[in-house]
Structure 1
Amino acid sequence: MSAETSEAELGDAGGPQYTTAGLPASRRRAYWREALSNTFGSVDMKVPDEVEHGSIRTSLVGSLQAVTVEGDPHRAQRTRKLIAGSGNDEYVVVKVLSRGTVRVEQDARETCMSAGQLFVYDMARPVQLTVPERFHTKSLALPRRALGLSESDLHRLTATPLGDRSPLGRLVTPFLSHLVDTAGSYRPQTGESVARHAVDLIQTLAEEHLGFDLQDTPNAARMTLLRIQAHIGEHLADRELTPEVIARRHHMSVRSLHKLFELEGLTVSRWIQQRRLEQCRRALSGHQARGRTIAAIAHHWGFASAAHFSRSFKAAYGLSPAEWRNAALHAPQENTR
């Protein structure tokens, strides 16, 4: 994907940022067409005669490029001729459609995607995307080889919704959406680690779609762990959430559950406590916390003892819950991350 920055600014994440805001109407169409082409490489872009609004934010997370696009209808076509003359055909694009619809045509398939769906297209082969209305998308571009798929398997994967009816898909789609939102905010080592996990998730989702036996893949344990962590996240407020309960709900022994969490370097209970502390920290940072006691917030997120919560909170963040809330009232943006 191209890194040209004609009439673009560099954002906090270091990637080119484009917006039509502030441009006269006579210049917006040409600017928006060039912005889309610069971002997505050698693509023939067709946009309406009148463009009202468009914005593009790009950033890196590890070796992956994250792109958020919001704008007006357009059509993007990548032909064999354009592919032959470009140097960015070694990528696939994984895209989450946040708003609007898009018709994707690749590998003899034509599919209309709707908001909330995730799909993949391959930059190495002809593709066309038609967006008939205002839209919002979040994309990750990653090397084709990262998915570890044969050419025939990759052909079967493109231009089709992935995981929209599976538990794994319902886990992966919001994760990737949030990753694009936060790309560029990670320290280099953290970004590389997050990017590897993202690729593992995409690869496993692709294997599930293709009908592979996930129990035979190297990522099986990681995927099981992620499913359990998602379950924990949905039940953090349940004070009865114990390793025994979690293991029973996932049809495994407590010993197997603990062994899975060795991948995180934490015990199950410690991982639950950290997630609960994070939720309490966010609650204490919000304006809605002014009308709630600290004990009520701790109780809501599964802490049975206010004293235990206060000790754990200060050990994790260096401030007592009251000190954190007071600091948040004066500098809320610094404490809500």
Structure 2
Amino acid sequence: MFRSEDVPAADRFDYWTEMLGRAHAPMELRSDYADDFRGSQRVLDLGAVTAWRAVFQPVVFRRTPKLIRQSDPETYHLCLVVRGAGSCVWRHRETRYGPDDLFINSSTLPNDVHSSGDPVTTVALEVPKALVPLPRDLTRRIVGVPVSTREGMGALLARFLTQLTTDTAAYRPSDGPRLGTVLTELVGALFAHTLEAGRCLPPETHRRTLILRIQAFIRENLHDPHLTPSAIAAAHHLSAGYLHRLFRDEDATVAEWIRRRRLEAARRDLADPALRATPIQTIAARWGFPRATDFSRAHRAAYGTTPKEHRHQALHGHE
């Protein structure tokens, strides 16, 4: 166990950086709380495997190519977020994460991890790559892939890791390597499951599948007034920038796609005889247009008529 409070305030951030470097790998750290940084970490030695539970103030962790050349423990890093949120950026992927998310990292790949929340709480695991050998191209396929801890292999690993790091009183020192072996087998099973789910998809097919999933999510949440590109990106563990790049080859931006679907839904309701008594503004608000003037302006721009004119024309045959 080490705590930043074990040293004077002025030394705490440097101490934390040094101890993390020993427990994980050398990193560059930045924090708005560096003047009096608060963090603690309990490290469990499980033979070749290391597990820990950490509580700390928001910080940015960075593994640069230079640091990797200087020191690379050749490990996989699996991190379960208990409290807080953030994002991780690699050259090939950007991933957002929040409570109950598990993300996979590699000591060999340059990355920036941004954390938020005060404090952030994580449960992490370091496994030597030699114990779970994967070709380099497959490593890139699993690093950064969001893993659900609510079901399946992700849930099994998360429960085991959480229980282990919460209470070690029942274990003897000789149990450490055995527990490390169990964790290694669970990590290997998780990797296999993840690769079987996605390895057969060519990049373009994966991109189209992701866009279709996002578009379905938008349709299901059109009524939500907080449905924004940022919210959509967070729900799919993407950065807002990556989401916009996904839609770059579509016929509309993310915001435009949302607006079109909302207009289409409102237009259908306006033409529904069963809703003829429902005020236009009620229908507009139901589909994400809280201001009547905004809805009327958007409807005229898209269809050349006002909502009232459209309703009258659509229902005229039913009168």
TM-score w.r.t. structure 2 length?
0.56
Q: Compute the RMSD of aligned alpha carbons.
A: 2.4
* Alignment match, 1:46: 30
**Is it true that 1:21 corresponds to 2:5 in the alignment?**
yes
**Is it true that 1:117 corresponds to 2:101 in the alignment?**
yes
Shift of 1:212: 6.1
Shift of 1:186: 3.3
* Alignment match, 2:156: 171
**Closer/same/farther in 2, CA of residues 37 and 47 from structure 1, 3 Å limit:** farther
**Closer/same/farther in 2, CA of residues 52 and 122 from structure 1, 3 Å limit:** closer
**Closer/same/farther in 2, CA of residues 24 and 179 from structure 1, 3 Å limit:** same
Is this contact kept in 2: 1:96–1:117, CA < 8 A?
yes
Q: In structure 2, what is the Cα distance between the partners aligned to 1:58 and 1:206?
A: 24
* Alignment match, 1:209: 194
Q: In structure 2, what is the Cα distance between the partners aligned to 1:22 and 1:85?
A: 28
Match of 2:90 among 87, 106, 111: 106
* Alignment match, 1:32: 16
**Closer/same/farther in 2, CA of residues 148 and 41 from structure 1, 3 Å limit:** closer
Shift of 1:56: 1.5
Q: In structure 2, what is the Cα distance between the partners aligned to 1:86 and 1:52?
A: 25
**Closer/same/farther in 2, CA of residues 150 and 184 from structure 1, 3 Å limit:** farther
**Is it true that 1:60 corresponds to 2:53 in the alignment?**
no
Q: Percent identity over the alignment?
A: 24
Shift of 1:46: 1.2
TM-score w.r.t. structure 1 length?
0.53
Shift of 1:100: 0.3
Is this contact kept in 2: 1:101–1:133, CA < 8 A?
yes
Opposite residue 46 of structure 2, the aligned amino acid is: V
Q: In structure 1, what is the Cα distance between the partners aligned to 2:55 and 2:94?
A: 23
Opposite residue 144 of structure 1, the aligned amino acid is: K
- Any idea what the Cα deviations from partners look like across 1:251-273, whole Å, max 9, x if unmatched? xxxxxxxxxxxxxxxxxxxxxxx
Task: Mark the structure with the bigger radius of gyration.
Answer: 2
Shift of 1:71: 0.8
* Alignment match, 2:181: 196
Is this contact kept in 1: 2:50–2:180, CA < 8 A?
no
Opposite residue 54 of structure 2, the aligned amino acid is: V
Matched position secondary structure for 2:148: coil
Q: In structure 1, what is the Cα distance between the partners aligned to 2:180 and 2:26?
A: 25
Number of residue pairs matched? 196
